[in-house]
């Protein structure tokens, strides 16, 4: 039976998340967002983070076996929407914990999971952070979108050479969330995707290593100063002969699959966070339209153009929410092997939500540009991030769907029928090798 209603337990979860977001998080958002120094702004949210950790949302997606909440993907989406509706940057701090630790759930040994996940879920200080270090600086070559490129000199270039039972890491990561920690000395643990084989392409050369806080040789540069989602810290990290025990490595040779699956898990979460941001803009402008007359005799909601525009926004948000739910449901069915649907939710919701926020600004007119009187400029700054972060829509996410669709085994009715699609290395690499035009002599 298809049922869109929440269970009694999910309604409680939604209520707790909504009350937390309104009562604890919202009062700190304005000052943190306005703080010119991104690291100081990040530190301003620490008390709110400690409370969200205490409530279980920072590790709720991890298995109960290790102290996590054991939440389903649908449960995570329900809570994430309420938190992101107040600030999606703060939601991204929670998302980063999942990006860093869920690969360990899927690919780690039992010993690794018992050590690192138990520690993450049982922090006495309630400020535990985990970083997911994939992205690298732009350059030629550079960046991360073609992490699965067959040429060893393309894609991820942070190296980890095995020497005397240790991996020696060198290189630079750029953009990872939370990785510099509350004090610029590192998150409690950083999951770093590295190149462990310099002779292979991305589908066989990549691995994950766990780098704990305080490891010598890791330095943190000033955080990236962003236009939006400013409550989320983004770091610039340098590794110089960083030595990590071999037992801290996992998904050896399968780091490519870890990347794909992590950004598959996060896709519906990013999608629902985009919905949440646009939802807040829509609710604000709907109220405005019912009160503001624009110099006429009646509130502008009674003008057909305004009514139609807000009707379209409402329809789009509903459609996006249910696409996120479908992707989350599919992830629950098949242990997060929702590569195409997860990417669809991330791509579609982020791009549609961006248009929704802009349409809301069009309804308000120039008043929406008044950043001191109205929140629309923050909604727009925040929503612009969704199409370009978290395995960008024009980079990794669309290529992932393309790789699935192009595979000979693909059934075009698989999504409709909830048919399991196992993502394999054969589906990677598509579009990473291009043919340059030949210059005419």
328 and 191 in a common domain: no
397 and 248 in a common domain: no
In a domain, 3, yes or no: no
Q: Say if residue 20's pLDDT is above 80.
A: yes
Place of tokens 């020497």: 163
Place of tokens 């337990």: 9
Q: Could you tell me the CATH number of the domain that includes residue 102?
A: 1.10.540.10
Task: Name the domain count of the chain.
Answer: 3
Domain boundary among 225, 253, 281: 253
60 and 115 in a common domain: yes
Domain boundary among 228, 253, 278: 253
Helix axes 88-107, 376-383, angle to 10 degrees: 30
- Mean pLDDT over residues 7-19, rounded? 98
Owning domain of residue 43: 8-121
* pLDDT band of 116, cuts 50, 70, 90: very high
- Give the DSSP letter of residue 215: -
Asked if residues 94 and 273 have their Cβ atoms less than 8 Å apart, the reply is no
Say how far apart CA 324 and CA 346 lie, in whole Å. 8
pLDDT computed for residue 436 by the predictor: 81
66 and 28 in a common domain: yes
Q: Could you tell me the CATH number of the domain that includes residue 366?
A: 1.20.140.10
- Give the DSSP letter of residue 170: E
137 and 116 in a common domain: no
Asked if residues 401 and 346 have their Cβ atoms less than 8 Å apart, the reply is no
Asked if residues 103 and 335 have their Cβ atoms less than 8 Å apart, the reply is no
In the chain, what's the furthest Cα-to-Cα distance? Answer: 80
In a domain, 438, yes or no: no
* pLDDT band of 223, cuts 50, 70, 90: very high
- Mean pLDDT over residues 51-56, rounded? 98
Q: Say if residue 441's pLDDT is above 70.
A: no
- Mean pLDDT over residues 229-256, rounded? 98
In a domain, 436, yes or no: no
The structure tokens listed for 294 are 């624009």
- Hey, which residues does 136 pair with through a beta bridge? none
310 and 199 in a common domain: no
Give me the count of residues in the chain.
441
Domain boundary among 121, 152, 176: 121
Asked if residues 385 and 224 have their Cβ atoms less than 8 Å apart, the reply is no
pLDDT computed for residue 263 by the predictor: 97
260 and 245 in a common domain: no
- Mean pLDDT over residues 320-349, rounded? 97
CA nearest to 422, candidates 361, 334, 363, 354: 334
Question: For 354-392, how does the pLDDT look when each residue is reduced to its tens digit (9 = 90+)?
Answer: 999 999 999 999 999 999 999 999 999 999 999 999 999
Query: Residues 6 or more apart from 23 whose CB is under 8 A from it?
Result: none
CA nearest to 170, candidates 237, 255, 107, 84: 237
Say how far apart CA 75 and CA 11 lie, in whole Å. 10
- pTM (2 decimals)? 0.96
Peptide bond into 158 cis (omega under 30): no
369 and 298 in a common domain: yes
Q: Say if residue 256's pLDDT is above 60.
A: yes
Question: For 129-154, how does the pLDDT look when each residue is reduced to its tens digit (9 = 90+)?
Answer: 999 999 999 987 777 889 999 999 99
pLDDT computed for residue 1 by the predictor: 67
263 and 248 in a common domain: no
Q: Say if residue 440's pLDDT is above 70.
A: no
Question: For 389-435, how does the pLDDT look when each residue is reduced to its tens digit (9 = 90+)?
Answer: 999 999 899 999 999 999 999 999 999 999 999 999 999 999 999 88
Say how far apart CA 193 and CA 183 lie, in whole Å. 23
Residue 242, SS3?
A: strand
Residue 413 CB neighbour total at 10 angstroms: 8
Burial, 17: exposed, middle or buried (Cβ in 10 Å; 0-12, 13-18, 19+)? Answer: buried
pLDDT computed for residue 439 by the predictor: 62
pLDDT computed for residue 392 by the predictor: 92
Say how far apart CA 396 and CA 65 lie, in whole Å. 32
pLDDT computed for residue 395 by the predictor: 83
35 and 161 in a common domain: no
pLDDT computed for residue 142 by the predictor: 77
287 and 143 in a common domain: no
The structure tokens listed for 106 are 């899927």
Average pLDDT, the chain: 96
402 and 346 in a common domain: yes
Query: Residues 6 or more apart from 168 whose CB is under 8 A from it?
Result: 160, 161, 162, 241, 242, 243
């Amino acid at each position: 039976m298809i049922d869109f209603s929440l269970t009694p337990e999910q309604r409680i979860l939604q209520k707790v998340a909504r009350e937390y977001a309104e009562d604890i998080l919202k009062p700190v958002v304005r000052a943190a967002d306005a703080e010119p120094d991104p690291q100081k702004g990040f530190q301003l949210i620490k008390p709110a983070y400690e409370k969200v950790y205490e409530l279980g949302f920072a590790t709720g997606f991890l298995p109960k076996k290790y102290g996590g909440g054991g939440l389903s993907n649908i449960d995570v989406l329900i809570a994430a929407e309420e938190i992101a509706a107040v600030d999606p940057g703060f939601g991204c701090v929670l998302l980063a914990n999942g990006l860093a630790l869920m690969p360990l759930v899927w690919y780690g040994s039992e010993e690794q999971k018992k050590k690192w996940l138990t520690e993450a879920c049982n922090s006495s200080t309630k400020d535990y952070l985990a970083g997911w270090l994939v992205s690298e600086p732009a350059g030629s070559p550079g960046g991360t979108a073609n992490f699965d490129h067959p040429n060893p000199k393309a894609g991820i270039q942070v190296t980890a050479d095995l020497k005397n039972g240790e991996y020696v890491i060198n290189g630079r990561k750029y953009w990872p969330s939370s990785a510099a920690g509350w004090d610029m000395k590192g998150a409690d643990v950083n999951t770093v995707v590295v190149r462990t084989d310099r002779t292979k392409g991305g589908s066989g050369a990549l691995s994950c290593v766990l780098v704990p806080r305080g490891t010598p040789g890791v330095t943190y540069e000033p955080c990236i100063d962003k236009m939006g989602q400013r409550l989320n810290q983004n770091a610039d990290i340098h590794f110089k002969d960083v030595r990590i025990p071999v037992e801290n490595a996992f998904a050896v040779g399968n780091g490519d699959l870890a990347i794909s699956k992590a950004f598959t898990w996060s896709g519906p979460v990013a999608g629902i966070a985009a919905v949440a941001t646009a939802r807040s803009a829509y609710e604000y402008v709907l109220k405005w339209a019912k009160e503001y007359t624009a110099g006429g005799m009646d509130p502008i909601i009674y003008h057909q153009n305004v009514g139609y525009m807000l009707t379209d926004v409402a329809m789009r948000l509903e459609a996006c929410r249910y696409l996120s739910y479908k992707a989350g449901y599919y992830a629950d069915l098949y242990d997060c092997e929702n590569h195409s649907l997860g990417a669809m939710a991330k791509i579609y919701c982020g791009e549609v939500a961006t248009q929704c926020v802009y349409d809301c600004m069009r309804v308000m007119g120039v008043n929406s540009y008044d950043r001191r009187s109205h929140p629309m400029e923050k909604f727009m700054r925040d929503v612009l991030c969704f199409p370009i972060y978290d395995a960008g829509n024009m980079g990794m996410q669309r290529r992932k769907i393309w790789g699935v669709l192009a595979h000979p085994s693909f059934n075009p009715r698989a999504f409709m029928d909830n048919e399991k699609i196992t993502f394999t290395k054969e589906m990677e690499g598509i579009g990473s090798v291009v043919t340059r035009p030949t210059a005419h002599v």
